[in-house]
Amino acid sequence: MQFVIAADHPCLPGHFPGRALVPGVLLLERAIEAVQAAHGPLAGVRLPQLKFLRPLLPEQNAEVELETLGATRWRFRVLHSGEILASGEIVADAPAIVSPSAPSPATDAHA
């Protein structure tokens, strides 16, 4: 998933005056959005491992790469021009994907 944070984003004026940097929380937000775009809504998430290596500037193109580690766990990397800006893991509180083949409680009650 590719994204750009606009220079007029409301969080930039205070982060940092004179040299705006995209806050890490926006990078994390985009990583979670990438998981949700690929796997559906998440009830809640934990971020047990995070690294911020380089800053992202407003108007720079960035990309989120995902690796699935399990039904509720993903590794992400945020990149700009091939350079890793941030990386970590996202863990969902519940499975993001519900198997359509699994019987529902209502179906079991009629059996």
Full DSSP string of 9-64: -TTSTTSSTTS----HHHHHHHHHHHHHHHH---S-EEEEEEEE-S---TT-EEEE
- Across 60-86, average pLDDT: 96
The tens digit of pLDDT for each residue in 82-107 reads: 999 999 999 998 755 554 544 444 44
Cis peptide before 16 (omega within 30 of 0): yes
pLDDT reported for residue 5: 94
Fold of 2-97: Thiol Ester Dehydrase; Chain A (3.10.129)
H or E element in which residue 91 lies: strand 83-92
Mean pLDDT of 3-25: 88
The tens digit of pLDDT for each residue in 15-60 reads: 777 888 999 999 999 999 999 999 999 888 999 999 999 999 999 9
Q: What is the pLDDT of residue 12?
A: 86
